[in-house]
Each structure stands twice: as structure tokens, then as C-alpha cells.
Amino acid sequence: MAADNGASAEVQMSGLLLKSPGSRSGGFKRRYFELVNAQLRWKKHPGGDVIGSAKVHKVMEVSTVTCDFSITITNDKGKTKERMLRASTTEDMRKWIAAINSILQA
């Protein structure tokens, strides 16, 4: 049985972002993100298998200088966390924030 890469669901937005480390130490990791309804999932590269996903509850702009924004998520184990994401441009950061807010307000 092939691993589900999440291609069957409608993706509202996708693209490369840097993700802050979780409980492990280290720097930001480059990941390919997809927003499907209020679910954010990430892969190592476009077309790859989903390596993580979480329901998004909140998004907030942090810095236009570094293009950072924060999300509050609940993972598949029911744990709520705050994570920092970094876009390559302020425009991309604001597109992500707008897309997530649009879904959260629907």
C-alpha cells in the first residue's frame, strides 16, 4: 500500500516555508506546506509524503523584517503548540496569513 501524500484533498495554498524546530534543537527547516481547510501539512519537498500535519487555530504576523509569522496548532496527539514559520518575502507571509485567516473565519 502506497503512503498517502495528501494529493486527494483540495489545497487552498501551498509553498516553501521555513519551520521553527519543535522540541528538538536546531535551526529552521525548509519544508513544503499545504493548507487544506484548517489543516496545515508539511512535506520535505513538493510531491513527497506528508511528514507532519496539524489543525491551525490562530495565525499572527511577527516580523516584516524576517517575514516570520506564528501559528497556534493542535497536532494529531491533541497537543496545542505555537510554531514560528518564515516566508521568503513579506508578500508571501501576508498571503499565508490571509489564506489561514480566511479559512478560520469561514
Bridge pairing between strands 68-75 and 13-19? unpaired
Q: What percent of the chain has pLDDT over 90?
A: 74
List, for residues 74-97, the tens digit of each pLDDT value.
988 899 999 999 999 999 999 999
pLDDT score at 106: 79
pLDDT score at 27: 85
Assess contact for 36 and 11: CB atoms under 8 A.
yes
* Residue positions counted in the chain: 106
Cα separation, 5 vs 46, in Å, equals 10
Assess contact for 81 and 73: CB atoms under 8 A.
yes
Cα separation, 54 vs 7, in Å, equals 16
pLDDT of 5 strictly over 90: no
